[in-house]
Amino acid sequence: MISIAIEKKLKAYDGQQILRVDRQFAAGSITKIYGPSGAGKTTFLKIIAGLIAPEKGTIINDGVTWFNAESKVNMPVQKRNTGFVFQQYALFPNMTVKQQLEYATADESWIKRLLLLGKLDTLQEHKPEYLSGGQQQRLAILRALATKPKLLLMDEPFSALDMKMKTELTAELKIVLKELGATTLIVSHNPQELDGLTSEVMMFE
């Protein structure tokens, strides 16, 4: 279980607003996070991953303190073992599909399985610039899964996928996430999206 109680000032067009979250996520749960643009959904995910530090609060994962503002504890992002799917994919332009996964893990059989899961097994020697938007997005999801994370943070991970691909991928993803026992947080702008995948909902205002 991960417990998050944080505060972070956000820069907004009309001044400043404060992102306040106090919530626990059960181990293995899949939570959909939705809310308007600029509400701090992406910032929230980056705070959990350790890419941004909040001003106040604590983050405790399975009894281990990842962040504590008062006692100045801030576990480095590399040690948190969180998978992160970036909204703009953040694929490495210099690496092929397979190299992006090999950069994350040395487990060849896991790489093979991921490539099949994302239907990218025939494109493994391609660099991102030669992939479609949907293929790039699938690769970003596979790369985030490559380290077998216990916590998966996904920022609009299915926005470029067509309905058929989204349905197939989410069904497969559900099985993999269960196998990994990963707690998953998925940011989505659409409240109706992902109803079959997620069990919890969190709303940002």
Partner 1 sequence: MDLTPIWLTLKLAGITTLLLLIIGLPFAWWLSRGRSFFKIMIEAIITMPLVLPPSVLGFYLLLAFSPQHGVGKWLQEVFNVQFVFSFQGLVLASVIYSVPFMVGPVKSALQQLPPALAEASYTLGKTEWQTFRYVLLPNIKPSLLTATVLTFAHTLGEFGVVLMIGGNIPGITRVASIAVYDSVERQDYAMANNYSLVLFSITFVLVIAVFVFNKYQAKSPLG
Give the footprint of partner 1 on this chain (CB under 8 A).
Answer: 46, 49, 51, 77-79, 81-84, 86, 88, 90-94, 103-104, 143-144, 146-147
Contacts of 128 (CB under 8 A, 6+ apart): 89, 91, 92, 93, 95, 97, 136, 139
Rounded to a whole number of angstroms, the minimum distance from the CB of residue 154 to partner 1 is: 12
Rounded to a whole number of angstroms, the minimum distance from the CB of residue 172 to partner 1 is: 21
Cβ nearer to partner 1, comparing 54 with 83: 83
Cβ nearer to partner 1, comparing 51 with 60: 51
* 194, 128, 81, 88: CA torsion to nearest 10: -50
Rounded to a whole number of angstroms, the minimum distance from the CB of residue 25 to partner 1 is: 18
Cβ nearer to partner 1, comparing 46 with 166: 46
Rounded to a whole number of angstroms, the minimum distance from the CB of residue 38 to partner 1 is: 18
Three-state secondary-structure class, residue 153 = strand
How far is the C-alpha of 119 from the C-alpha of 137, rounded, in Å?
12
Cβ nearer to partner 1, comparing 73 with 167: 73
Going by their DSSP bridges, the two strands 64-68 and 73-74 should be labelled as: antiparallel
